[in-house]
């Protein structure tokens, strides 16, 4: 078996490490549901890697129960790649009110919101 040396870009931390006020709008937007009652889980648009002597872990970052971490999409061994089956939601970066009206686009192609 061949030994590997990969670059690990994996990290994890709890939301309260950087946002100590769990009642703040920023904390609630990132880690809570729309009613701000329950912690939520969703994908982040960021990949990461972790490595051991004979395996590479291919991960995507997630928010899960007040934490930012990575979860394995698959593992690469000397004899192949093995996928993991996962299910997380996708959360939009910007929230818009459902009653917004538009009046077409401006000259740059951006939507004009009334």
pLDDT tens digits for range 4-16: 566 778 888 898 8
**Residues with Cβ < 8 Å from 36, sequence gap 6 or more?**
28
Q: Using a cut of 0.75, tell me whether the model's pTM lies above it.
A: no
User: What stretches in the chain show pLDDT beneath 50?
Assistant: 1
CB 88 within 8 Å of CB 44 = no
Residue 1: predicted pLDDT: 46
Residue 47: predicted pLDDT: 79
Alpha-helical segments (H) within 1-113: 25-31
Residue 35: predicted pLDDT: 77
């Amino acid at each position: 078996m061949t030994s590997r040396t990969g670059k690990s870009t994996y990290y994890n931390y709890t939301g309260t490490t950087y946002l100590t006020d769990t009642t703040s709008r920023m904390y609630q937007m990132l880690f809570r549901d729309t009613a701000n009652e329950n912690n939520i889980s969703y994908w982040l648009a960021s990949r990461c890697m972790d490595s051991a002597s004979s395996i590479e872990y291919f991960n995507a970052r997630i928010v899960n129960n007040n934490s930012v971490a990575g979860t394995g999409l698959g593992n690469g061994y000397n004899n192949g790649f093995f996928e993991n089956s996962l299910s997380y939601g996708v959360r939009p970066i910007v929230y818009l009110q459902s009653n917004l009206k538009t009046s077409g686009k401006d000259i740059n192609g951006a939507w004009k919101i009334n």
